[in-house]
Amino acid sequence: MAQIAVNNLTFTYEGGVDAVLENVTFHIDTNWKLGLIGRNGKGKTTLLNLLMGKYEYKGSISASTRFDYFPYQITDDDLGRCACELAPVWKPGVETWQVLLQINLIGMDPECLYRPFGTLSHGERTRVMLAVLFAEEDEFLLIDEPTNHLDTRAREIVKEYLASKKGFILASHDRDLLDAVCDHVLVLNRKTIEVQAGHFSSWWENKERMDTFAKTENEKHIKEISKLKASADRSGRWAEKGENRKIGFDPVMENDRSISTRSYIGAKTKKMQARVKNFEKRVEREIEEKEGLLQDIEDPADLKLNPLQFHKDILVNARELSLCYEGAQRTLFKELSFQVRRGERVVLSGENGCGKSSVIRAVLQRASFRQPSADSPQLIVDGTLEAAPGLIISYVNQDTSFLSGSLRKYCEKQSLNASLFFAILRQLDFGREQFFKKMEDFSEGQKKKVLIAASLLTPAHLYIWDEPLNYIDVFSRIQIEKLILSYMPTMLLVEHDVRFQEKIATNIVCLQV
């Protein structure tokens, strides 16, 4: 076991104004299974890249171990090559037998190593990369969001595999994965860095307890500050009154006073002014202490939604539904039946490639909803699929590649109120500096927040969200869960986050290939 020591690490992207990481200091052991937690844009991926030596930085990183990073970079040319050819490129010096050993442990057929990488599913690609990542020993591994775009079954396989390993940092927003895999957490708070033993839920419980204590202490500070300000104000008025009486007096109104009392009044006034200054100093100290208490509290604003009430009970009706794409050799699924009723939240579940997004596409077509991209082959629908006439839909696409240009141009194109749109983004912890960037420069999590904010701002009878939580941070996920449970909108979703499903779904429809 060795240690990795990070001291006073500071990093700012070229052309950036604010530091992504500033004076970051922590020590971790190389045999830990460490969960990396933080909001979108707090620097999780940047930190992993700094450990890999990708950027220049201020401060120091001391480690006696080698690092390797997931996911590996894939070019268009790589998609035509098989994984057994790519493995030595990703991890120089690795041997095929080492990869095959891990392929067996992660529950895959060795044949997948000899197929073109582009023919593998998202889940298969992830598992092959993880097998290569863990093929050598004596490395500390940096794993960045391994479960994005994976179905529930693939997530379970990855979870079990990582739980059997040690010596890595896992950056993830998947609460179920973090709980099952990690024995320590490294948290990028708003102002500080925190390392704590345990998994996500134990850290979250401790955080809620500490936040509650900090808020209680803050309320006490506010009351104390109010009292001190009142006392300072009262003493200040007395001091001012005394200063005004020190020179000159009205012999009729103050017949008991002589000119010799001037020095006495001056002395009392001086003491009173000293008391005022002491009060002011105490107020400043109390305010500083109060600000220190609240610097890391996550207290996101409650989001709002304006769902419309539809006059019919059934909004979507599918009966013995089958889908396939024009020119395809196989049907995605057969004889699927489900309904979306007013007030229900229906989650489509199943393996990658089983047709969940295709169901959403078919529903949108039936409702005559214009989709951002229509480059896919023609979808052939067999059976019954009905969308209620006059249905107003708000849609979140799983694809964010069409987002480009400024946020204001996006608002104009989508006919959104820019002020309200920016306000929702701020509630989703969007930094004001992001408002002036082009959307193609946003992180994937920030792009998803753009789509979610637009959907929240659109009054609708039915909210259709296709994998909305990919890349979205834990705090925003909890925020969105609370929103849905408060407003109870009618929804049709594809989402593999197990905790999210458990909390918001009223019905889960499983698709079988």
pLDDT, greater one: 215 or 59: 59
Give residue 228's pLDDT. 64
**Mind listing the pLDDT tens digit for each residue in 23-45?**
999 999 999 999 999 888 788 99
**pLDDT value at position 135?**
95
- Cis (ω within 30 of 0) for the bond into 71? yes
What pLDDT, on the 0 to 100 scale, is given for residue 284? 65
pLDDT on residue 259: 54
Q: What are phi and psi of 57, to 5 degrees?
A: -150, 170
Percent of the chain at pLDDT exceeding 70:
84
Q: Count the Cβ atoms, other than its own, within 10 Å of residue 414.
A: 11
pLDDT value at 509 more than 90: yes
* pLDDT tens-digit readout, 423-439: 999 999 888 888 988 99
Looking at residue 10, what is its pLDDT? 94
pLDDT, residue 340, reads 97
Cα 100 to chain centroid distance, Å, stands at: 35
Mean pLDDT of 362-388: 83
- pLDDT score recorded for residue 326: 80
Mean pLDDT of 90-114: 93
Percent of the chain with pLDDT over 90: 57
Read off the pLDDT of residues 425-483 as tens digits, 9 standing for 90 and up. 999 988 888 898 899 988 888 999 999 999 999 999 999 999 999 889 988 999 999 99
- pLDDT (tens digit, 9 = 90+) per residue, 63-92? 989 999 999 999 999 999 999 999 999 999
Task: Summarize pLDDT for 226-269 with one digit per residue, the tens.
Answer: 776 676 666 666 656 655 555 555 555 555 555 555 565 566 66
pLDDT of 270 strictly over 70: no
Contact predicate 84/113, CB 8 Å:
yes
pLDDT tens, residue by residue, 283-308: 666 656 555 555 556 666 678 898 99
- pLDDT of amino acid 153: 86
pLDDT at residue 223 greater than cutoff 80: no
Is 85:117 a contact under the CB 8 Å cutoff?
A: no
What are the CB-based long-range contacts (under 8 Å, 24+) for 121-127?
121/352, 121/353, 122/149, 122/150, 122/154, 122/352, 123/150, 123/151, 123/153, 123/154, 123/157, 123/351, 123/352, 126/71, 126/150, 126/154, 126/158, 127/103, 127/154, 127/157, 127/158, 127/161
CA distances (Å), origin 281, targets 228, 232, 243: 10, 10, 22
How does residue 278 score in pLDDT terms, banded at 50, 70 and 90? confident
The residue count for the chain: 513
Task: Give which of 287, 275, 283 is closest to 236, Cα–Cα.
Answer: 275
**Which of helix, strand or coil describes residue 231?**
helix
When pLDDT is averaged across residues 377-405 and rounded to a whole number, the result is: 91
Q: What's the pLDDT at 379?
A: 86
User: In this model, does residue 334 exceed pLDDT 60?
Assistant: yes
Helical residues (DSSP H) of 407-505, grouped into ranges: 407-414, 418-427, 444-456, 474-487, 498-504
Q: Side-chain half-sphere of 108: how many Cα atoms within 13 Å?
A: 29
